Chains A and B, each alone.
Chain A
Amino acid sequence: DTGVSQDPRHKITKRGQNVTFRCDPISEHNRLYWYRQTLGQGPEFLTYFQNEAQLEKSRLLSDRFSAERPKGSFSTLEIQRTEQGDSAMYLCASSSGGQRVFGPGTRLTVT
């Protein structure tokens, strides 16, 4: 499979716990994006990497959120001290400067 993959696909966690999601982009894509999507809304931009450098962060990305792309390949998104409002689909996308290809998403439920 040469598409964008995300792991896990679903995560249920209790409020206050930390969670980490992984995204594996298309191998030749140097740009990687994280989005959050809630029910009935379009994807909202969170952050963007070009290779290993995090070039842009949305104001939606509070200090409880951190993203890394240590070797310019896969990326992780960690949410610390989760809140019920963090429940959403977290989407990763990659591109080589043109069209963005989205992964299947990680659905987070915070109880």
Chain B
Amino acid sequence: QKEVEQDPGPLSVPEGAIVSLNCTYSNSAFQYFMWYRQYSRKGPELLMYTYSSGNKEDGRFTAQVDKSSKYISLFIRDSQPSDSATYLCAIVTGNQFYFGTGTSLTVIP
């Protein structure tokens, strides 16, 4: 079983839609949860970072962690064409980062 599972998509939504991206993980020892955005042919950039169960908001983005279910989500409100990218979850314990495979998102104008 992989440490982190993420649906690769692709996901295509109309502009203005609410997007939900999800990952599941297997090890309850994981401590930190991150979401990265990666544009085509670019390196990943950190979007959100949290370590506790619950929600964390930053503008149009909300990161949600449910440690009891080992499930994390990223919600994007009022999605824009500029949000079209691959979204990677990363789950961390100690110095080990485990990345999901990424979900490809296209927001159609």
* 8 Å CB contact of A105 from B6, B43, B46, B96: B43
Contact yes or no, A40 B46, CB < 8 A:
no
Contact call B43/A42, Cβ cutoff below 8 A: no
With a cutoff of 8 Å between Cβ atoms, the chain B residues found around residue A99 in the complex are 34, 46, 49
Contact A103 B97 (CB under 8 A): no
CB within 8 Å of B: which A20-63 residues = 40-45, 48, 56
The interface residues of chain B lying within 8 Å CB-to-CB of A102 are: 36, 43-45
Interface of chain B: mostly helix, strand, loop or mixed: strand
Interface size on B, residues (CB 8 A): 21
With CB as the reference atom, state the residue of chain B lying closest to A100: B97
Q: In this complex, what residue of A is CB-closest to B46?
A: A99
On chain A, the residues within 8 Å of B36 by CB distance are: 102
| Bound Cα distance A41, B90 (Å) | 12
Query: Which B positions have Cβ atoms within 8 angstroms of A?
Result: 4, 6, 8, 34, 36, 41-46, 49, 88, 90, 95-97, 99-102
4 further contact pairs, Cβ within 8 A, besides A42-B101, A48-B95, A99-B34: A40-B102, A42-B4, A43-B88, A91-B43
